[in-house]
Amino acid sequence: MKNLLGLVVLFATTYLFGQVQVTPDATGNLQLSHIIWMLQENQTFDEYFGHLNAYRTAHGEPASMDGTPVGASNPAYSGGGTVNAYHFTTVCFEDLTPSWNESRRDVNRSNPLSKTSFPMNGFVYSAANYAINEDKKHPGSYADTKGIRSMGYYTERELPYYYFMATQFATSDRFFSPILSRTNPNRLANFAASALDVVNNIPSGSSFKQKTIFTLLQNAGISWKIYELNGNTFLGYFSSYGAYKAAHVFPISQYFTDLKNGTLPAVAFIETTGPQDEHPGENVQKGSAEAAIIINALRNSSSWASSAFIEAFDEGGGMYDHVPPQSAVIPDSIPPNLSATDDKDTYSRTGFRIPLLVISPFAKVGYVSHTVMDTTAVMKFIEIRFGLPSLTARDAAQPSMDEFFDWVNKPNLNAPAPPVQPTNAPCYYNKLP
């Protein structure tokens, strides 16, 4: 009997790939009736929250973030001098490249495939090189051909809503995108916990047969929806999309209707790719204001008391961060489909740090996690809540996210109202800062 009890305890405290996940420390999330998550586009932790400590201490919280170091800089593109981190004045800036090769040069400009040296010194180089090449194809299209935009950052001056939410609710300074590359493989991993061999772009006509988190929910009879802001979703790249579309994919207006009518599903993803997604080239204040509308609607609804809303970003976008990507479990047996010009590497490390907000009546006030995880941890969180199997070895290896929550006291049930997110800061592209 004693040995049998030991086996039961061992099973109950182990994450098993392909098995229903049960953890004694995460059963509190059974109180959640709704889990909603959303990814915005292409911003790093240092760019958005690298200076959050000053705001935290001004509001009675400890300076517990691993923020942008004093004197943070990158070598100039020319190789002479440095470019220091600086406070953006504009809330709009020219695009950069976070692609496979460039991301590795961001980590180590001279030795991008090094497994031991991570000086984080290639952001300016990659941004400059991208602008120079684009300007050759379209003369006059880029003002910043020196890559200086990659070292810009924001504070509560531009993003007061996010700064309030990151301090009133819970956040992390060790939350990473899952893949060291651009949007497409990271967005696939957001649904399937695997990049499915994608390195940069998804080949035209792709229809992946692999399971997604929505497959697991559907098979278990758990209600779910995708709410689109701009009439598209990355679920469209999966063969299951046709069968799911009519009953599960809706415009964002349905989200507000469901909140009003008390018909929010158990799990929802908000697909924001488009003008409101905060991607470089778009106005970050307008994107964050749209996020505020979506989050505030939940907070003011009857669903709030039993919900968790998780907002993150799909990847770093080529903007500076001082913390290197972390070693990670390779998701599955599908290797990256590398071209002859792609750096030879695997899916064995994360992408860059990204901003995270964990918003819930159960979220700990002012909590900062220092536990390494990536966005597939959201899959793990959903899987634990609804007793679902893992999708891949990557989500199976993630922490439970339980540390962000106080399941007993509901410390944010009656949280103070957040500030209004302004949208009137200067927006220009032809100069810096």
Residue 28 has a pLDDT of 81
Residue 27 has a pLDDT of 64
Reported as a single tens digit per residue, the pLDDT across 249-278 is 999 999 999 999 999 999 999 999 889 999
Higher pLDDT, 1 or 109: 109
Mean pLDDT for all residues in the chain: 94
26: pLDDT confidence band, cut at 50, 70 and 90? low
On whether the CB atoms of residues 15 and 21 are closer than 8 A, the answer is yes
d(CA 15, CA 396): 6
Domain boundaries, given as residue ranges, for the chain:
2-74+155-404
Reported as a single tens digit per residue, the pLDDT across 82-94 is 999 999 999 999 9
d(CA 131, CA 137): 10
Reported as a single tens digit per residue, the pLDDT across 134-171 is 999 999 999 999 999 999 999 999 999 999 999 999 99
Residue 13 has a pLDDT of 34
CATH of domain 2-74+155-404: 3.40.720.10
Closest CA to 222 of 386, 379, 381, 377: 386
Residue 52 has a pLDDT of 98
Q: What is the pTM of this model?
A: 0.93
Residue 273 has a pLDDT of 86
* Mean pLDDT across 375-400: 97
Which element (helix H / strand E) includes 243?
helix 241-248
pLDDT > 90: percent of the chain:
92
| Residue 428 one-letter amino acid | Y
For the cut 60, the answer to whether the pLDDT of residue 233 exceeds it is yes
